[in-house]
């Protein structure tokens, strides 16, 4: 790999743990221009007028509704937003695309159809394809004339993606690769025209191929009987002596793993962005129901525990959304440098790989936020929520797959500390030096500054800084004890990941509010949402730290370390009851999450 050029500190993946970010350098939803919002509005109208009226037909896969609406989405430009204009795409930035993703996922299965196509179904070709391959296929995919799919998983290699057994052998005349194997759980399989298929050349080198549906030897199995996302297609893709022209080899022999993992980075980001759209829709439905449904002579929204649920949903969505837009703009900024990595031919943009850690954070956090919001929305609906009369039941069913898609949340939790360590070893991140300094500082502690005179937002930033120090300290203790085998200590790794996730989301929310405050925007509700999230995160972070340290130390050493945890995470609990009621009251007055944040 060539030597990478230096980037500003906030554009280095994982560096948020080691530095403080200037709020002025962070992109927030409040920064969206009228033009950027227009695409989301186009998607919203499309969903309202064209997709949701046919919900039942889509959920039962009746007729040709899925393909028909998919093509309509393509005609509106909703499927080629990130594709270069040379291939009939709109070439839009990721911050703009996020708004569209949020709208399409209001119906989970249809969101999967479109997301799997425009993300992992099209991006391998966009980033790794030759000019001839892109000219042949990419415009068809961007317009919705063709549908794309991504075929990596197999029956025995789900999370262990590189355990695949599908084989590819060069034909005697050297004109084709002959593929044999079966791919499992392939989204869009029933309708896709082009599959990105991963196979082992000569049983050894993992390699990607562009496989047309009409190639001899390509077929699909029956539709899987799924718990949710029923309006999407999920089938096996069966390859029986499938003949694939040699010119359809993607990125070079043996480069398949590199392609697969880096495309998954983008897929994880898109999944998290979409999850926030589904969560906002679930919160809107829960708010509306809480206002309309009366019990004991008053609306549900008038009861404290319902207000608490509504507020907690809004708080978590706010933090997740803040992290999504922050990351979208950082990815765009690195893409804009034009820097490439030469591990494949053609080389691909550094922006696809730089924020792999942040993409995993967003995937884990946002999928779990959606699950929690969906569950609480159903609870607010009571018995009706458990019926198909309301959307709450479908949202719960649809949301559950996101913790499995694009690498399970368990795999992603292990990936986060593992990637930090690998980048440190390769000199891409000054992690070891930071750990050493933090450890020395904490073992010879200076008195913590008295923050009682600070406003709550300033105190919250100080707490987040201490949480970063604590994370680095625990990482140092773990590395000292286990060395490079730390990755095998999965429980400790997961605890570290959960600390990192809360830090990133908390900081993203804080930066968003601080930026709004600096530009004199109305910030009271942003501050309430931020402080509520950080206040709740303190208890979670302390629990993660205690669990990790108890697995690493014992006796007096452990007691001293636990004292350090208490000292670093010292925080006077806020009155979350009053603040939560205020958030819920404003939410009910305005009716939806986006309106909750709007200035008076």
406 is catalytic: yes
Please state the φ and ψ torsions of residue 295, each to the nearest 5 degrees: -140, 140
**Cα–Cα distance, 560 to 95 (Å, whole number):** 45
Residues with Cβ < 8 Å from 252, sequence gap 6 or more?
207, 344, 345
Peptide bond between residue 346 and the one before it cis (omega within 30 degrees of 0):
yes
Q: CA 148 to CA 226: how far, in whole Å? A: 21
**Which one is catalytic: 353, 406, 489, 507?**
406
- 3-state helix, strand and coil shares in percent for the chain, rounded to the nearest 5: 65, 10, 25
CB atoms within 10 A of CB 48: 12
d(CA 274, CA 367): 9
- Whose CA is closest to 166, among 117, 112, 217? 217
The total number of residues shown for the chain amounts to 600
| Residue among 465, 463, 461, 473 at smallest CA distance from 434 | 473
Could you tell me where the DSSP H helices lie in 483-523?
490-518
What SS3 class is residue 149?
Answer: strand
Q: Which residues of 417-433 are buried (b: 16+ CB within 10 A; e: fewer)?
A: bebbbebbeeebbebbe
Pairing relationship of beta strands 167-170 and 194-201 according to DSSP bridges: parallel
Rounded Cα distance, 152 and 245, in Å: 19
CB neighbour class for 298 (10 Å; exposed up to 12, middle 13-18, buried from 19) = exposed
CA dihedral for 576, 581, 586, 590, sign (positive or negative):
positive
Give CA–CA dist 97/92, Å, rounded. Answer: 7
DSSP state string for 546-592:
HHHHHHH--HHHHHHHHHHHHHHT--PPP-HHHHHHHHHHHHHHH-S
In whole angstroms, what is the distance from residue 432 CA to residue 430 CA?
6
Known catalytic residues? 406
């Amino acid at each position: 790999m060539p030597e990478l050029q230096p980037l500003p500190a906030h554009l280095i993946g994982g560096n948020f743990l080691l530095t403080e970010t200037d709020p002025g350098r962070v992109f927030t939803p409040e920064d969206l221009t009228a033009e950027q919002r227009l695409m989301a509005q186009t998607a919203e109208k499309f969903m309202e007028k064209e997709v949701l009226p046919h919900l039942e037909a889509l959920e039962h896969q009746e007729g040709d509704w899925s393909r028909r609406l998919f093509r309509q989405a393509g005609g509106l430009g909703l499927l080629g937003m990130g594709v270069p204009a040379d291939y009939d795409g709109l070439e839009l930035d990721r911050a703009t695309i996020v708004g569209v993703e949020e709208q399409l996922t209001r119906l989970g299965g249809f969101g999967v159809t479109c997301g799997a196509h425009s993300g992992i179904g099209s991006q391998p070709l966009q980033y790794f394809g030759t000019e001839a391959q892109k000219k042949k296929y990419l415009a068809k995919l961007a317009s919705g004339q063709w549908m794309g799919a991504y075929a990596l998983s197999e029956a025995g290699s789900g999370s262990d993606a590189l355990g695949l057994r599908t084989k590819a052998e060069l034909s005697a005349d050297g004109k084709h690769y002959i593929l044999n194997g079966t791919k499992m759980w392939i989204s869009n399989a029933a309708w896709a025209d082009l599959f990105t298929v991963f196979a082992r050349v000569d049983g050894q080198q993992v390699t990607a191929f562009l496989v047309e549906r009409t190639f001899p030897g390509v077929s699909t199995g029956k539709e899987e009987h799924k718990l949710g996302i029923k309006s999407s297609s999920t089938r096996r893709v069966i390859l029986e002596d499938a003949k694939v022209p040699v010119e359809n080899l993607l990125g070079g022999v043996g480069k398949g793993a590199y392609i697969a993992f880096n495309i998954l980075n983008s897929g994880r980001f898109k999944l998290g962005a979409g999850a926030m759209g589904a969560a906002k829709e679930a919160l809107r439905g829960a708010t509306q129901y809480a206002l309309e449904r009366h019990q004991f002579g008053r609306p549900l929204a008038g009861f404290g525990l319902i207000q608490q649920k509504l507020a907690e949903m809004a708080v978590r969505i706010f933090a997740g959304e803040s992290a999504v837009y922050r990351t979208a703009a950082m990815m765009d900024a690195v893409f804009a440098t034009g820097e490439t990595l030469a591990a494949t031919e053609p080389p691909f943009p550094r922006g696809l790989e730089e924020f792999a850690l942040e993409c995993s954070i967003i995937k884990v956090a946002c999928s779990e936020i959606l699950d929690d919001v969906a569950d609480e929305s159903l609870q607010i609906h009571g018995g009706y929520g458990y019926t198909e009369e309301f959307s709450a039941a479908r949202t719960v069913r649809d949301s559950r797959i996101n913790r499995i898609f694009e690498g399970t949340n368990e795999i992603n939790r292990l990936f986060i500390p593992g990637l930090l360590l690998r980048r440190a070893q390769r000199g891409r991140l000054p992690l070891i030096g930071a750990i050493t300094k933090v450890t020395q500082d904490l073992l010879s502690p200076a008195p913590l500054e008295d923050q009682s005179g600070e406003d709550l937002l300033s105190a919250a930033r100080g707490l987040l800084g201490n949480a970063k120090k604590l994370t680095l300290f625990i990482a140092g203790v773990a590395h000292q004890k286990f060395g490079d085998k730390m990755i095998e200590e999965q429980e400790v790794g997961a605890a570290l990941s959960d600390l990192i996730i809360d830090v990133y989301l908390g900081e993203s929310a804080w930066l968003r509010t601080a930026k709004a405050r600096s530009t004199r925007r109305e910030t009271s509700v942003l501050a309430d949402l931020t402080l509520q999230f950080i206040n709740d995160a303190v208890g979670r972070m302390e629990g993660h730290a205690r669990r990790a340290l108890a697995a690493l130390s014992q006796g007096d050493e452990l007691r001293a370390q636990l004292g350090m945890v208490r000292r670093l995470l010292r925080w006077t609990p806020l009155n979350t009851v009053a603040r939560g009621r205020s958030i819920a009251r404003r939410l009910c007055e305005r009716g939806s999450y986006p309106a909750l944040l709007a200035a008076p």
